[in-house]
Amino acid sequence: MALRPLYGHLALRHRLTAAAADGRLPASLLFQGNRGVGKQRFALWMGQYLLCETALAERLPEPCGRCQHCRYTERGMHPDLHWFFPRPRIKDGDVSSDDVKADLAEAIAERMEAEGLWAPPPGTDGLYVATIRALVTQASVRPALAKQAVFVVGDAERMVSQEGADQAANAFLKLLEEPPPGTTLILTTSEPGALLPTIRSRVVTVRVPPLPRAEMEAFLDDAVVQRTLSRVNRDDALARAAGAPGELMAGDTMTAAFTNARRLLEAALQPSTAAGRAERIKAAARQGVSGARGAFSDSLDALIVLLHDRTRRLVHAGETTSARRTASALLHVEQAKVRAQGNVSPQLLGASLLTSLHRTLSP
């Protein structure tokens, strides 16, 4: 079992590998782009390049794919490529770094068993303080096999701050600012506005764009992808993905999230009348009274995608004023996502969000 090949992003790949070969690659990077465009897979590919025995030495534009380091990274088992991503909170009270590593190893093995096709993490998953401590601890250890180490942190906006965790947060910020020699950190996010400013100021941002249609079609032609999406109409898949192949892995959970997100957006767009306010109240009431970090957070993820799509359509239609309003509305959703990490009622948070969206989107 192995990761799927990285599709697309050729120009960006070669720009970054050329920088690495010249010794100009920043030690702390942030890959940002729409959800599902392949940021984590790209980060892992970049890690493979940096660990490859011959790529840097011979200034190759791609990892060689043949050396031991390449084989290990493609199977998700290289000891110097450390992959962190949102996971459920480990229940034990005193969580050690070994507990975090064991949990992530099991999750990575599951992604390998799925042949490198994984669904987005549910809203209840996060990068908790124990995970950050484990990452910082691991960064202080010398590489086991290669000459350097690479850390990939997927969905970095899911870092959950907790009371009394300042030491871990400060240690992570110091790590980003001054990584140990031979250490590269690559964070990924589809919501840069939800990242702490102290993190954004310590990384060099790289935008990962959506895939054009030809590269999406190449992804859909992959035998493993065809088997996984055997019941999905090809034209529907291309339309739904909008250049983000990861969106096709979301399954039923995200289908429900998009349905709910469309209802929220429709309610926000209702007029400032009694009937419009009633629709917003009903939409907020549907969000439930508990569990803001579950299905409601998934709906917020979907709402961000819908607002991005709406902004693009308005720009193409020449409706620049409405496009600016819609782009501004994204900030309210990102703020709601941060608040959803706490013990907040989805109904109350939904009502507040709908009010803000309505004021922003209304002419």
Please, how many CA atoms are within 13 Å of residue 84, restricted to the half-sphere of its CB? 29
Q: Are 201 and 89 part of one and the same domain? A: yes
Q: Which two tokens stand for residue 163?
A: 């009371």
Q: Output the pLDDT for position 255.
A: 67
Distance between CA atoms of 115 and 52, rounded to whole angstroms? 22
**Residue 287 and residue 353 in contact, taking contact as beta carbons nearer than 8 Å:** no
Distance between CA atoms of 283 and 25, rounded to whole angstroms? 47
Confidence band, pLDDT 50/70/90 cuts, at residue 290: low
What is the three-class DSSP state of 184? strand
* 1, pLDDT greater than 80: no
Q: Output the pLDDT for position 268.
A: 96
Question: Could you give phi then psi for residue 144, rounded to 5 degrees?
Answer: -85, -35
* Range among 204-213, 224-233, 287-296 rated most confident: 204-213
Of residues 90 and 179, the one with the higher pLDDT is: 179
Q: Are 235 and 347 part of one and the same domain? A: no
Q: Are 204 and 101 part of one and the same domain? A: yes
Question: Which of 198, 232, 249 is the endpoint of a domain?
Answer: 249
Residue 149, classified by CB atoms within 10 Å of its CB into exposed (0-12), middle (13-18) or buried (19+), is buried
* 192, pLDDT greater than 90: no
Distance between CA atoms of 254 and 119, rounded to whole angstroms? 9
Residues near 62 by Cβ (< 8 Å), separated by ≥ 6? 13, 17, 49, 55
Could you tell me if residue 2 is inside a domain?
no
Q: Are 275 and 200 part of one and the same domain? A: no
Q: Are 221 and 257 part of one and the same domain? A: no
Could you tell me if residue 308 is inside a domain?
yes
Sheet holding 28-32, edge to edge: 81-84, 149-153, 183-189, 28-32, 204-207
Q: Output the pLDDT for position 165.
A: 58
* Range among 232-241, 294-303, 351-360 rated most confident: 351-360
The angle that helices 346-361 and 274-285 make with each other, rounded to 10 degrees, is 140
Each residue's pLDDT tens digit, 102-149: 999 999 999 999 888 988 888 778 898 899 999 999 999 999 999 999
Query: Which range (4-8, 214-218, 247-251, 309-313) has the least confidence?
Result: 247-251
Q: Are 61 and 192 part of one and the same domain? A: yes
Cα distances (angstroms) measured from residue 229 to each of 36, 75, 142, 233, 246: 16, 22, 41, 8, 12
Q: Are 287 and 147 part of one and the same domain? A: no
Please report which helix (H) or strand (E) contains residue 81, including its range.
strand 81-84
Could you tell me if residue 3 is inside a domain?
no
**Residue 241 and residue 36 in contact, taking contact as beta carbons nearer than 8 Å:** yes
Residue 164: give its domain's CATH number: 3.40.50.300
Of residues 1 and 82, the one with the higher pLDDT is: 82
Domain that holds residue 216: 211-249
Q: Are 28 and 63 part of one and the same domain? A: yes
Could you tell me if residue 5 is inside a domain?
no
Which string of b and e fits 81-101 if b means at least 16 CB within 10 Å? bbbbbbbeeeeeeebeeeebb
Q: Are 117 and 135 part of one and the same domain? A: yes
Residues near 84 by Cβ (< 8 Å), separated by ≥ 6? 104, 127, 131, 134, 135, 151, 152, 153, 154
> Which amino acid is residue 147, in one-letter code?
K
Average pLDDT, integer, range 138-162: 91
Residues near 292 by Cβ (< 8 Å), separated by ≥ 6? 123, 339, 340, 342, 343, 344, 345, 346, 349
Q: Output the pLDDT for position 107.
A: 95
Which residue is it, tokens 């339309």? 239
**Residue 347 and residue 356 in contact, taking contact as beta carbons nearer than 8 Å:** no
Q: Are 305 and 240 part of one and the same domain? A: no
Total structural domains within the chain: 3
Q: What is the pTM of this model?
A: 0.74
Q: Are 89 and 119 part of one and the same domain? A: yes
Q: For the chain, give the mean pLDDT.
A: 89
Distance between CA atoms of 105 and 199, rounded to whole angstroms? 26
Could you tell me if residue 55 is inside a domain?
yes
Q: Are 179 and 40 part of one and the same domain? A: yes
What is the three-class DSSP state of 150? strand
Q: Output the pLDDT for position 267.
A: 95
Q: Output the pLDDT for position 123.
A: 75
Question: Which of 231, 249, 267 is the endpoint of a domain?
Answer: 249
